[in-house]
């Protein structure tokens, strides 16, 4: 099967929920950072989101989506989650916890559904891009359709300055 025809778990979930999406591949590039991925896709970095997984002092896990050129503000993230503090989980814990590897983590189709927060700027967008669950694959999904696939809240999550 050619890579262009391969469906990821994220795409299967979107299909099963009848959520329209567009897949975008960037597998043949050296893009490693989110801003490089946005550039390869020819997209505004404000529309391309990275998925970050944290653990709170309470031991609960939380998922945050922020535009690729911004940094997750851990204090704002903790406040949104109603926690005293949150910290990024070590990369080695990502796969066993979510089923996804670093650089291919998606808010859709994780092994377990965790409380999820999306940066408030997404409310102004018609579509957002995020990982399709595999490095080299992104999906573009209408923001209005996201609640069918994942429970989330919008929140102010990022530092003000771009990376």
Domains of the chain: 3-155 (3.90.960.10)
**Region for 156 from its dihedrals, namely left if φ exceeds 0, alpha if ψ lies in -120 to 50, beta otherwise:** beta
Q: Going edge to edge, which strands form the sheet with 49-56? A: 86-88, 49-56, 61-67, 115-119, 152-155
Q: Residue 66's closest CA among 88, 85, 81, 51?
A: 51
Q: Greater confidence, 35 or 30?
A: 35
pLDDT for res 126? 97
pLDDT for position 28: 67
Residue 29 has pLDDT above 70, yes or no: no
Please check whether residue 157 is in contact with residue 73, taking contact to mean a CB–CB distance below 8 angstroms. Answer: yes
Average pLDDT over residues 74-83: 97
What is the pTM assigned to this prediction? Answer: 0.92
Separation CA 33–CA 86 (nearest Å): 23
The answer to whether the CB of 28 falls within 8 A of the CB of 137 is no
Give me the mean pLDDT over the 122-137 stretch. 95
Residue 39 Ramachandran class (φ > 0 left, ψ -120 to 50 alpha, else beta): alpha
Confidence of residue 122 (pLDDT cuts 50, 70, 90): very high
Q: Write out the E strands in 17-143.
A: 22-25, 49-56, 61-67, 86-88, 115-119, 127-131, 137-142
Name the band, by pLDDT with cuts 50, 70 and 90, for residue 31. low
Beta carbons of 32 and 40 less than 8 angstroms apart: no
pLDDT band at 5 (very low <50, low <70, confident <90, very high): low
- Residues 76, 73: Cα–Cα separation, whole Å: 5
Residue 63 has pLDDT above 80, yes or no: yes
């Amino acid at each position: 099967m050619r890579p262009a025809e391969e469906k990821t778990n994220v795409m299967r979930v979107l299909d099963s929920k009848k959520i329209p999406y567009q897949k975008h591949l960037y597998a043949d590039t050296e893009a490693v950072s989110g801003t490089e991925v946005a550039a390869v896709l020819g997209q505004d970095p404000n529309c391309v989101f990275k998925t970050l997984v944290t653990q709170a002092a309470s031991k609960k896990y939380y998922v945050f989506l922020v535009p690729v050129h911004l940094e997750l503000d851990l204090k704002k993230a903790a406040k949104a989650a109603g926690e005293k503090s949150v910290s990024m989980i070590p990369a080695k814990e990502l796969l066993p916890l979510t089923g996804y590897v670093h650089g291919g983590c998606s808010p859709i189709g994780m092994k377990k559904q965790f409380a999820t927060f999306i940066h408030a700027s997404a409310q102004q967008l018609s579509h957002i891009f995020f990982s399709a669950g595999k490095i080299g694959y992104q999906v573009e999904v209408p923001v209005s359709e996201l609640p069918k696939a994942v429970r989330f809240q919008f929140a102010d999550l990022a530092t003000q300055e771009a990376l």
